[in-house]
Structure 1
Amino acid sequence: MKQVPVGISARHIHLSPEHIGLLFGPGYELKQLKPLSQPGQFAAEEQVAIAGPKGQFDKVRILGPARGKTQIEISRTDAFHLGVNPPVRESGNIAGTPGLKVIGPAGEIELQEGVIVAARHIHFHTDDAAKWGIKDKQRLRVRLSGERPLVFEDVIARVSDQYALDMHIDTDEGNAAGVKTGDTAEILD
């Protein structure tokens, strides 16, 4: 059986160094609150507000370290609340996506693009992928056996020697299956 741990990803933001400076002040460095499942990644102590045409969320967690481009990952339910219609995309693929206003303690920015609903995916260390015969970008079928079991299709395999084995789904998907972070999923093919 090919079992992987599940991580539920709530709404969050990745910031570029330039945007960290605009939101928190020049030269500001994010402070680590806790490490995440992927090596070198962390939830920052800092939070920002995000605002769309119809609504706003306060206290949106920043994930570090800084990235090349600012990206906001939300669920479809969040999108309805904010009044935006982001596509389902892999992380980093933000061309042509909607933007939002981001509000920090020292300033605010109006993003022209960067909002996505993250495509469900599994991070594989190269050793795990090789053991199971899984290739980078392969589409997988995965069973979640929570209180409302279901099978997800088109789960993207992301393979790197920098990754740790972990399946990432958003809060809508986790709630639909009745699973929580730390539960396990089974790769069917």
Structure 2
Amino acid sequence: MATNAQLPTQVNPDEITPITITVGISARHVHLTKEHVEILFGPGHVLTRFKDLSQPDQFACEEMVTVVGPKGVIEKVRVLGPERKKSQVELSISDCFKIGIKAPLRDSGDLAGSASVTIVGPAGSVTVDEGAIIAARHIHMHTSDAEKYGLEDGDRIYVRAKGPRGIIFGDVLVRVSDKYKLEMHVDTDEGNAVGLRNGDVVYAYKIHGHISELVK
């Protein structure tokens, strides 16, 4: 059963064994439906692979769009492939301030009641009534890793980032699939605040001990 990260009350030293995870910094980006790809880039347009991403079968596209809100625009926002069933715009809190929207903090794909935004491409534009979110920090985990570490899809755990601006992230969502590669994703705001860069290592803890033990 999935569990929420609770502030622990006592520590068992045997449980303080971290899971070493590589970090990926998730910059602002857009996922598009096939319909929206054709509206933005022209009838029959197919997304062009620019480079593969760390997660299997996911890729950055040559295509970029402009994201428009009531108070501003953000140009050259990368489209990620493949196409999805619903278009989704993932922004940071700073991005939302810039364009004047109040996007909710959500897990990817949870778009009900999310913010409206306009997406502009070279061939047209589309306004999504729901689709703009601030993506919650999360860990992609292969099923074999989840079995190894005793975790399940939907669990929420602690993650420690070390260094001069080290911090403990709470309520980090674990997403499990046989299509995933082990990696933690945070957005640019969170990464910059802690000094994290792509490829850095963080330490995940599945514990029921006192949180202060993690900051020693």
Please say if 1:55 is aligned against 2:72.
yes
Matched residues in 2 for 1:149 and 1:110: separation? 39
> What is the alpha-carbon root mean square deviation over aligned residues?
0.7
| Residue in structure 2 matching 1:127, options 121, 128, 144 | 144
CA distance in 2, matches of 1:146, 1:103: 40
1:118-138 per-residue CA deviation (whole Å, 9 max, x = no partner) reads 010000000011111111100
**Aligned twin of 2:200:** 183
Alignment of 1:69-148 (within 5 A): 69-148=86-165
Structure 1 counterpart of 2:198, one-letter code: T
Q: Where in structure 2 are there 5+ consecutive unaligned residues?
A: 1-17, 207-216
Q: Is 1:147–1:179's contact at 8 Å kept on the other side of the alignment?
A: no
Q: Does the residue aligned with 1:162 lie in a helix, a strand or coil?
A: coil
Q: Greater Rg, structure 1 or structure 2?
A: 2
Instruction: Give the unaligned 5+ runs of structure 1.
Output: none
C-alpha distance in 2, partners of 1:89/1:176? Answer: 20
Q: Deviations over 1:5-50 (max 9, x none)?
A: 0000010000000000000011111111110111000000110000
Paired with 2:164 and 2:38, the residues of 1 have a C-alpha distance of: 44
The alignment's TM-score, normalised by the length of structure 1, stands at 0.98
Mapped to 2, the partners of 1:6 and 1:148 lie a distance apart of 16
Is the Cα–Cα contact under 8 Å of residues 145 and 179 in structure 1 kept in the other structure?
A: no
Which runs of 4 or more aligned residues in structure 1 lie more than 6 Å from their structure 2 counterparts after TM superposition?
none
Aligned length: 189
Q: CA deviation at 1:146?
A: 3.7
Residue identity (%): 52
